Amino acid sequence: MTLIKFLILVCIIIISLILYLKYLTDYNLSIWFTYAMYATSMILIVLTVKLKK
- 8-41 pLDDT per residue, tens: 888 888 888 777 777 766 666 667 777 887 888 8
Environment class of residue 33 by beta-carbon count within 10 Å: exposed (0-12), middle (13-18) or buried (19+)?
Answer: buried
Predicted local distance difference test score (pLDDT) of residue 5: 83
Other CB atoms within 10 A of residue 52 CB? 6
C-alpha 31/C-alpha 7 separation (Å) is 26
Whether the model clears a pTM of 0.85, i.e. scores above it, the answer is no
| Res 38: pLDDT | 85
